[in-house]
């Protein structure tokens, strides 16, 4: 009998712990609030989400086209993102799982692999960076208001560590010789035969990232503006959902209930199932709203996610990719 992989045991135990906490929260909720679910509100929310998804795609397209004559249409870029989103959603790696598929599609459309890799990496860098900034602002707002956070010390500690890593990474990548290149050399990983070929690849990728920051100021400005715009639309999504439930949120409430649940996607659970729901309920309670209001919002978000998954699967299945295997046919 084969031994169960350690990672699977960890995932099961983590999922069980989240479910135990989530299950206790469910008993105190008023489930009748689900009757406030509005089809028109859901359609409007989904429309705003699609516009936001297009802005995310436009940002990536700007990165791909920086310094290049080769053009990949916004439609194709959006479809590639949908496929990547679908893969990420169904794996324990919500922030990274779908990136190889995005690289694969760029290669199929004439973008050299090296440039495809760097464009996806830069796109994720901005996505993670702006998310970290907004989550940090949200936590600061919560603490300044005197409210308590779930596992407050752990949350602040993790945020502080991630912030330090982000600053060090940017400094070493833009003005130094590259964060991962230096780590690779400090650990002497090049002495390991199987890993040695990766050193040059990592160095080339970080050189392209450095080149984008230093040599494409106009594209960099657009990417920064589009990144901020995506989170403006993200707040608008929650504004639409809360308004449909009869709540006129303050900016503080809107910020907390939309951003705090984002921490759930750092957990190694496909779709952050359980963790996202738990933090959504907690964020409502933190800003003085009924935890039950999170239920129809969670329902709308999960239904929207299913639509996005369907789009990603449909495009992948008609363009030579099996998502289950995450490999091109």
Which of 5-11's residues contact partners 24+ apart within 8 Å by CB, and which partners? Answer: 10/268, 11/92, 11/268, 11/269
Nearest to 121 by CA among 102, 145, 93: 102
Confidence of residue 306 (pLDDT cuts 50, 70, 90): very high
Confidence of residue 1 (pLDDT cuts 50, 70, 90): very low
Give dist(CA 58, CA 54) in Å, integer.
6
For residue 151, CA distances in Å to 52, 187, 220 come to 31, 33, 36
pLDDT in tens, 94-143: 666 788 899 999 998 888 888 888 899 889 888 877 877 887 777 777 77
Give 317 or 80, the one with higher predicted confidence.
Answer: 80
Number of other residues whose CB lies within 10 A of the CB of residue 234:
19
- Total length of the chain: 329
Domain borders along the chain are 32-322
- The pLDDT of residue 55 is 96
pLDDT in tens, 222-247: 998 999 999 899 999 999 999 998 88
67: Cβ contacts below 8 Å, ≥ 6 apart: 211, 215, 216
Single pTM value for the model? 0.79
């Amino acid at each position: 009998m084969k031994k169960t992989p350690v990672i699977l045991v960890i995932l099961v135990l983590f999922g069980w712990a989240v479910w135990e906490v989530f299950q206790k929260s469910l008993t105190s909720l008023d489930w009748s609030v689900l009757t406030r679910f509005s089809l028109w509100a859901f359609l409007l929310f989904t429309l705003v989400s699609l516009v936001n998804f297009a802005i995310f795609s436009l940002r990536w397209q700007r990165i791909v086209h920086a310094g290049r004559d080769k053009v990949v249409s916004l439609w194709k870029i959006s479809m590639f993102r949908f496929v990547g989103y679908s893969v990420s959603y169904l794996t324990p790696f919500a922030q990274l799982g779908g990136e190889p598929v995005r690289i694969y599609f760029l290669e199929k459309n004439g973008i050299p692999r090296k440039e495809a890799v760097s464009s996806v990496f830069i796109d994720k860098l901005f996505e993670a960076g702006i998310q970290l900034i907004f989550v940090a602002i949200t936590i600061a707002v919560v603490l300044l208001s005197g409210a308590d956070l779930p596992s407050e010390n752990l949350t602040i500690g993790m945020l502080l560590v991630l912030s330090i890593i982000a600053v060090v990474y940017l400094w070493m990548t833009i003005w130094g010789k590259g964060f991962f290149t230096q780590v690779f050399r400090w650990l002497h990983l090049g002495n390991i035969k199987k890993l040695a070929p990766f050193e040059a690849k990592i160095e080339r990728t970080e050189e392209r990232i450095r080149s984008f920051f230093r040599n494409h100021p106009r594209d960099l400005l657009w990417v920064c503006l589009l990144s901020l715009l995506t989170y403006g639309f993200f707040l608008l999504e929650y504004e639409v959902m809360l308004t449909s439930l009869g709540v006129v949120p303050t900016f503080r409430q809107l910020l907390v209930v939309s951003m705090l649940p984002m921490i759930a996607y750092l957990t190694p659970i496909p779709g952050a199932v359980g963790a996202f729901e738990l933090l959504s309920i907690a964020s409502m309670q933190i800003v003085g709203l009924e935890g039950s209001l999170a239920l129809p919002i969670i329902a709308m978000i999960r239904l929207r996610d299913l639509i996005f998954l369907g789009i990603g699967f449909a495009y992948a299945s008609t363009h030579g990719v099996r998502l289950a295997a995450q490999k091109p046919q």
